[in-house]
Amino acid sequence: MHTTQEVLLATGECLHITNDTFAAAVIEGLQADMLATLVDGKTPALHMKNAVNREWCQQVADRFIQHPATKKEEVIPPIYSLGSHLYSCPEGEEFSCYFREIEHMNSAIANVLPNGHDPIVAFLQKACALNNAQFEYLSYNGASVRHGSLRLWGEGSQTSSDNQCYFAAPHEDYVETNANHPSLYQIHDSNNVYSIILCIDAVDDKEPETLVWNRRMTLEEICDPHNKHAWSSYGYKESIIEGVEAMSIRLKKGDAAIIPAHNVHAVIGYPGFRRCTYMAFFHIIKTPATGFSKMVFRT
């Protein structure tokens, strides 16, 4: 069914979101066998309801906030984070910066997760086993990322109007795999990257909305300065997704989603929102006609 949604952003701009058939498959729980439907293109994304129980989520959220390695990023709305991000490396610098503190971050995340058990890694490893595929952690000079990362977004956020929303600009997470970074041989030219997001906490009925457009940019478009967002420090101008179908996923506490992060995507935070997530990225290496032969995990 064709739908059109209009969202008023904090900038005063109005974002028009249309959808017809481009939508996530909604399932119950972490079903590892469903990953193959994503890899083979039978569904563009997965929304896994009640992936983990709420008591586990609360434990993680409390430990995350109290952990001494948790840092506050100087952005608006504020973001608190624990864990490394490949995309945070300075442009043009080798990825030694990403791996410099990786063992410390691995230990910190393991301390936050009850009994050190990582449901994201366990789920992806099971999916690989079902598909006779290898599971690898992204590694560099003997160091490997072995856990996801935690983020708390919107803590203490305020808006001047109940009708306005925060907006994480349209962006993609594919550019790190291009030919400019051959030192990361595991994902060099992998041509895809997926994001898995587990919602640890969210305000009921004010859950942020993850938007994924049925649009993938070329490397030429990504590198074109004319496509950069007008006011955001990252991302691309809204005209690149004008008239393109978009799916919407709103994760409640305990829900998880897998989206194609090589597609243009964004997040809308509604007034009064607060969301804590545990997330990671993974790349699929496809050699057979169907399925995949390897998965490379990173943050």
Q: Give the DSSP H/E element, type plus range, for residue 82.
A: strand 79-82
**In the chain, how many domains are there?**
1
Q: What would the pLDDT profile of 85-129 be if each residue is shown by its tens digit? A: 877 776 666 677 788 889 999 999 999 999 999 999 999 999 999
Q: What would the pLDDT profile of 55-77 be if each residue is shown by its tens digit? A: 999 999 999 999 999 998 776 66
> What is the spatial distance between Cα 267 and Cα 208, in angstroms, rounded to a whole number?
7
Residues 6+ apart with CB under 8 A from 84: 98, 99, 101, 102, 105, 145, 149, 299
Our CA dihedral for 266, 104, 102, 251, rounded to 10 degrees, sits at -20
Query: If you search the block for the tokens 């004008």, which residue do you land on?
Result: 242
Short-list 263, 285, 297, 261, CA closest to 131: 285
pTM for this prediction:
0.91
CATH number at 277 reads 2.60.120.620
Domain interval for residue 122: 3-298
> What is the spatial distance between Cα 188 and Cα 253, in angstroms, rounded to a whole number?
34
Q: What would the pLDDT profile of 255-290 be if each residue is shown by its tens digit? A: 999 999 999 999 888 777 889 999 999 999 987 677
- Looking at per-residue confidence, does 206 or 78 come out higher? 206
Is the confidence at residue 208, as pLDDT, over 50?
yes
At 154 the pLDDT is: 77
Q: What would the pLDDT profile of 127-170 be if each residue is shown by its tens digit? A: 999 999 999 999 988 899 999 999 998 776 554 344 556 777 88
At 105 the pLDDT is: 94
At 160 the pLDDT is: 39
> What is the spatial distance between Cα 146 and Cα 160, in angstroms, rounded to a whole number?
41
In terms of DSSP bridges, do strands 265-269 and 149-153 run parallel, antiparallel, or are they unpaired? unpaired
